[in-house]
Amino acid sequence: MKLLLFVVKKLARLAVLLIALSMAAFALVSLSPIDPVNAYIGADMLRVSPEQRAQIAERWGLNDPPVQRYLRWMGQALQGDLGTSSIYRQPVITVIGQRFTASLALMSAAWVLSGVLGFTLGVLAGGNEGSPLDRVVRWFAYTLAATPTFWLALLLLIVFSVTLRWTPICCAAPPGVLPEEATLLQRIHHLMLPAATLSIIGVANIALHTRQKLIAALHSDYALFATAQGEKRWGLIWQHGLRNIALPAITLQFASLSELFGGSVLAEQVFTYPGLGQATVQAGLRGDVPLLMGIVLFSAIFVFTGNALADLIYHVIDPRIRLGGGA
């Protein structure tokens, strides 16, 4: 019963969020200085007559008022039709599905690597508070926290792809090979550098947060009592510290899905990786309203689902926490 109530509340909040987000996104797109007709025509702009431009605008419903266009789009979206992309000439759902498959591999690898590496560094730093190792980890984390994603991507590209030639310069497959035809090793080879970029950026928050929580746990009354009873420091961390710092680490890791998605947009642009992030940039620059709206809704559902899963995992790890929050 509690689980059903939790799901109903989450779905209600998601519905309100999607409606508000779609209205805001559609309003911003309508105010954009980009002319969708010119973006659709592209390089043939001078060859298209005014009559043809009018037909294109009529075809995409651009002559209607913004409110009418939004209501028409909303009615189609409620029926499961997000429209057709003017860039890819395919249904928006198809484009998102194809692009997200590539982005999912990138974000999954970066998400796991950043979580494991950040948590490990945080435990090592917190368990050796004030030591040279602690100072090195903090310096490393602070440096990464202040590093822009695109700058780090360019730096790694110059070092490993241009100078050392260990990794490919771009794309998700070798030149002349379609991504779906590439072998597993080829995909991993092209995935290494973009995933490393995203994971390195995500390490800082996890490491610093885990370090601080572990230090607080080691200075708590029960930890001091266990130390007085003869418990060794790393035994204390293993028996008492990890359980207390696991929940905050999971919270931060699932909350980082939004940052991970935003970082993937920049990383995919630098590495020309054919994922959802690159499609987002193309949709914005070329005025592809249906695709842009579909990606906005999909990214909101993606991040919201991650937060909902975090709530469920909290309850599994610590049953004292009720579903939906509260102790």
Tokens of 291: 């695709």
Query: Do both 235 and 190 map to the same domain?
Result: yes
Question: What's the pLDDT at 101?
Answer: 84
Domain boundary residue, one of 78, 113, 139: 78
Q: Are residues 72 and 113 in the same domain?
A: no
Please check whether residue 323 lies inside any domain of the structure: no
Residue 327 falls inside a structural domain? no
Does residue 273 share a domain with residue 135?
Answer: yes
Are residues 54 and 199 located together in one domain of the fold? Answer: no
Please enumerate in sequence order all residues whose Cβ is within 8 A of that of 103, keeping only pairs 6 or more positions apart, or say none: 264, 268, 275, 276, 277
- Examine the domain organization and report whether 122 and 235 are in the same domain: yes
- C-alpha span between 119 and 205 (Å, rounded): 10
* Coil vs helix vs strand at 257: helix
Q: Burial of 98 by CB count in 10 Å (0-12 exposed, 13-18 middle, 19+ buried)?
A: middle
Same domain, yes or no: 74 and 115 = no
DSSP type of residue 33: S
What's residue 316's pLDDT?
66
Rounded mean pLDDT for each run of 10 residues along the chain, 327 residues in total: 78 91 88 74 67 76 82 89 86 90 86 90 88 92 85 89 87 79 85 87 86 85 76 74 77 77 82 85 83 90 82 67 52
Q: Indicate the residue among 78, 100, 123 that finishes a domain.
A: 78
Handedness of CA 284, 289, 292, 297 (dihedral sign): positive
Is 11 inside a domain boundary? yes
CA–CA separation, 324 and 327 (whole Å): 10
Backbone φ and ψ for 82, nearest 5 degrees, come out as -90, 10
Q: CA 273 → CA 112, 245, 268, distances in Å? A: 19, 35, 5
Alpha-carbon gap, residue 111 to 289, rounded angstroms: 29
Do both 40 and 150 map to the same domain? no
End-to-end CA distance of the chain: 18
Of 45, 100, 151, 28, residue with least CA distance to 274: 100
Residue 85 covered by a domain: no
Q: Give the tokens for residue 216.
A: 């607080």
CATH of residue 229's domain is 1.10.3720.10
**Is residue 84 one of the residues assigned to a domain?**
no
Answer yes or no: is 40 within a domain.
yes
123 with 43, same domain: the answer is no
CA distance 191 to 167: 9
Range of the domain at 42: 2-78
Flag whether 157 is in a domain.
Answer: yes
Cα–Cα distance for residue pair 207/136, rounded to 1 Å? 12
* 210 and 62 belong to one structural domain: no
At 313 the pLDDT is 72
Residues contacting 308, CB < 8 A, separation 6+? 10
pLDDT of residue 326: 47
CB atoms within 10 A of CB 257: 20
How many domains are there within the chain? 2
Whether the CB-CB separation of 64 and 57 falls below 8 Å is answered with no
In a domain, 213, yes or no: yes
Q: Which secondary structure element, helix H or strand E, spans residue 183, and what is its range?
A: none
* Domain stops at, among 44, 78, 112: 78
Question: How far apart, in whole angstroms, are the C-alpha atoms of residue 121 and residue 208?
Answer: 9
Beta-bridge partners for 84? 91
Q: What is the DSSP string of 165-207?
A: --S-SSSSS-TTS-GGGS-HHHHHHHHHHHHHHHHHHHHHHHH
Is 102 found in the same domain as 73?
no
Regarding whether 18 and 154 lie in a shared domain, the answer is: no
Q: Is residue 62 located within the same domain as residue 120?
A: no
